[in-house]
Structure 1
Amino acid sequence: MRGIVLAGGLGSRLWPITKVTSKQLLPVYDKPMIYYPISLLMAAGIREFSIITTRKDSEDFKFLLGDGSKWGVSFEFLCQDAPKGLPDAFNLVDKSKLNDGSVLILGDNLFYGSQIAQKVMQLLNRPDSAIFGYLVNDVSFFGSFELDSDGAITKLIEKVSSGRGFAIPGIYKFDSTVMSYVKDLIPSKRGELEITDLLKCYLLENRLSYQILDRGTAWLDTGTVENLNQAAELIRVIQTRQGMLIGSPDEVALRSGLISPADFEKLLDGYGESEYAKSLLNVLSGYEN
C-alpha cells in the first residue's frame, strides 16, 4: 500500500510565517511537522511514500527527508502547481503505484494516543474505502458524516452550520479503484476536487466504512497559529513528563526493524547536539538494554 502525504498548499492561515517556507516544515516542538504523519504511517506498516509539495518548497523537503533510505523506506516527491483539492493528488501519482491501495494523509494533521498506529493499521485493512470518525463539539469546521440507527453512514457533509457530531480526520484509505472515481469528479465552486465527493462515490456503492477514534486519541489540525502552538505544547508535555518520543521516524525505523542500531547511530550524527538528538540517544540506550 502506498502512503500519500499532502504537504502542498499556500498555508495562508499561517501568514506571514509561511510566506517563506512550507507549513509542513514548521516545527511542532522538536521536530518538523512533516515528521508526524510520516512516522505514523511508517508505524502502521507503510514503506512507500509519495509526498506532494509545491514546486517552491520541493527542494527543501528533499534536503530534509532524502530518499527515505535512511529510515528504510522510499520517498518520491511530486509537485502540485496550484491548490486543486485533495483528490488531485491521485492525478500526480503513477497509476501503477496505486494497484495495492493507498492511504492519503494531511501533512498538517497530528494524531496521538494509545495504540494509534494499530488503529491506523486496522483502518488500512478495511476493504474498499475507509475513514475515521472523531466526535467533536462543533463540526462546522470539518467534513463530517451522519449515521442511522444501525450505525451505517447515511450522509457525508462537506460543512455543516454547527453542532456536535463526527468529524472526519485527515486520513483516508482507498482501494485500487480510486482513479475510476477521481477521473469523473467535477471541481466544486471553489475550483477544487473535493474529498467528500470522492468518498460519496464509494458510499453510493456501499463501499465506504468507518472506524471511530476513541476518547484516548488526540487529533489536532495544526493549520492555525493557535492549533500549532497547542500541538507543540502537547508534544512538549508528554515527551518531557514521560521521557518518550512522539512522531519520530528515526525511532519508528529502529523499533520496526527497518534499520539496525548501527544505522541509527549514524542518524544521530546528523542531528548535532540538539535536544532531539539527546532524545534519540535515550531511545538507543533503552533499545540496547
Structure 2
Amino acid sequence: MKAILLAGGKGTRLRPLTLHTPKPIVPIFDRPFLQYQIDLLRQVPEIDEIVLSLNYQPRRIEEVFGDGSDLGVHITYVVEPQPLGTGGAIKFAAGEYTGEPLVVFNGDVFTSVDLPAVLALHRERRAKATIVLTPVDNPTAYGLVETDEAGNVRAFLEKPSADEITCDTINAGIYVLEPDSLDRIPADTVFSIERGYFPSLVADRETFVASVYRGYWIDIGTPEKYRQAHRDIMDGRFPARPFVKKAGQALVSPAAKIEDGAIIEGPCFIDAGATVKAGARIAAYSVIGSHCHVGEGATITGSILWPNTWVDAGAVVTGAVTGRHCHLGRHTTVGEGTLLGDKSVVTDYSHL
C-alpha cells in the first residue's frame, strides 16, 4: 500500500524561517515536522511505500530522510515539474499505482488521528474516497464539509464566507482514496482536490465518506500555530515525543551544560550541546535547540531557538522564534511574535 505526503509547499506563512528550511523539516523540538506524520503512517503495517511529493528545496528534504531506512520505512520522492495543486500533485505522485487504497496527508497536518480506524471505515463502506473531518471554532479559513446522518459527504465548500457556514466540521487534510478514482484528475495539470475532485464525487453521487475526528489536530503553517503545537506537546494535550508521559516537565538533555545558578522552569526543552550560563533563566514553554548558548542573566520565555543560536548576556527573548545561527547581542529585547531568519544578527541593546 502506498501513502503520499504532500510536502511541496513553500511555507510562506512561516517566512523567514522557511527561506532555507523547507516546512517539512522545520523542527518540532529535536525532530523534523514530517517525522511525526511518518510515525502516524507506521500505524498501518500494510503501508510499504511513503511517497514525498516535493517542489520546494527537495534536496534539503531528501538529505534529512534519505530512503527512510533509519525510520523503519521505505521512502521515495517525486518532484513536481511545476506546482500542480493538491489534486495534480496526488495524481503525479500516484503515477501508475493500482490496487490498494492510497493514504494521503496534507503537509501542514499535525494530529494523532487513528489512521487504522479511518482505513477500516473506508473499506467497510466500500468508498471511493474517505475524508477525515475535524471540528473547529472558526471554519472560514478551511474547507467546510457537510455530511448526512450516515456520514456521506453531501457538500464541500472551500473557505466559506460567514453566511455560508452550516456546520463546524472542516477538511482535516487526511484522505483515503481509491486509485481508480484519480481518473477524474487530469494529468500534468494544475488541479485542486478540494475544489475539483471532491465536488465531482458529490455531484456524481459516488460513495464519499467522512470520518469525524475529535482528537488533537492543528495546522502548523503559521507562526502562532507552530508555537502552539510545541505548547500542546509540553502540556500533554498532544501526546508526542519527547514529552510522552513527561508533560509539564523541564526536559534537559544530559549533553546540555547548565551552569550553577541558572534557572530552568518547566515545561521546557533544552537539547544536546546547549549551554545555559549562570543567572540565565529559561522560562516555561521555551525550546532551546542543540548547541545554542544562553548568556549570563539572559531570559528566554515562551520562545523557540533553533540550533546554534547565540543569546548574549542580559538579553530578553519573549514569544519569539529564531532560525539557525542567529546572534542576539547583549541586553537586546526581542518581543512577542518576532521571527528571525537564519543568521540574523540583533546588535547590542536593540529592541524588536
Normalised TM-score (structure 2):
0.61
Do the aligned partners of 1:185 and 1:198 also contact (CA within 8 Å) in 2?
A: no
Cα distance, 1:123–1:223 mapped onto 2, change above 3 Å: farther
Aligned to 2:41: 41
Q: How far is 1:144 from its partner?
A: 1.6
Q: Aligned letter for 1:59?
A: R
Moved >6 Å (runs of 4+): 271-276
Aligned to 2:315: none
Q: Does 1:51 align with 2:41?
A: no
Aligned to 1:134: 134
Structure with the bigger percentage of helix: 1
Aligned to 2:181: 178
Give, in whole Å, the separation in 2 of the partners of 1:110 and 1:201. 27
Q: Does 1:223 align with 2:224?
A: no
The residue matched to 1:18 in structure 2 has which SS? Answer: coil
Give the counterpart of 2:123 among 119, 122, 125.
125
Aligned to 2:14: 14
CA-to-partner distance for each residue in 1:103-125, whole Å, 9 max, x for gaps? 11012210026xx2443443553
Give, in whole Å, the separation in 1 of the partners of 2:153 and 2:244. 40
CA-to-partner distance for each residue in 1:83-122, whole Å, 9 max, x for gaps? 3211112332353334322111012210026xx2443443
Higher relative contact order (CA 8 A, sep 6+): 1
Cα distance, 1:153–1:82 mapped onto 2, change above 3 Å: same
The residue matched to 2:243 in structure 1 has which SS? Answer: helix
**Identical aligned residues as a percent:** 23
Instruction: Name structure 2 gaps, 5 residues minimum.
Output: 237-241, 248-270, 275-287, 290-352
Indicate the RMSD between aligned Cα atoms, in angstroms: 2.9
Cα distance, 1:146–1:138 mapped onto 2, change above 3 Å: same
**65-74 or 144-153, which moves further after superposition?**
144-153
Structure with the bigger percentage of strand: 2
**91-100 or 195-204, which moves further after superposition?**
91-100
Q: Does 1:154 align with 2:192?
A: no
Q: Aligned letter for 1:181?
A: R
Do the aligned partners of 1:146 and 1:155 also contact (CA within 8 Å) in 2?
A: yes
**127-136 or 82-91, which moves further after superposition?**
82-91
Give, in whole Å, the separation in 1 of the partners of 2:134 and 2:161. 17
Cα distance, 1:184–1:3 mapped onto 2, change above 3 Å: closer
Aligned to 2:235: 237
> Number of residues paired by the alignment?
242
Do the aligned partners of 1:90 and 1:182 also contact (CA within 8 Å) in 2?
A: no
Instruction: Name structure 1 gaps, 5 residues minimum.
Output: 245-270, 277-289
Q: How far is 1:147 from its partner?
A: 2.9
Give 1 or 2 for the bigger CA radius of gyration: 2
Cα distance, 1:26–1:175 mapped onto 2, change above 3 Å: same
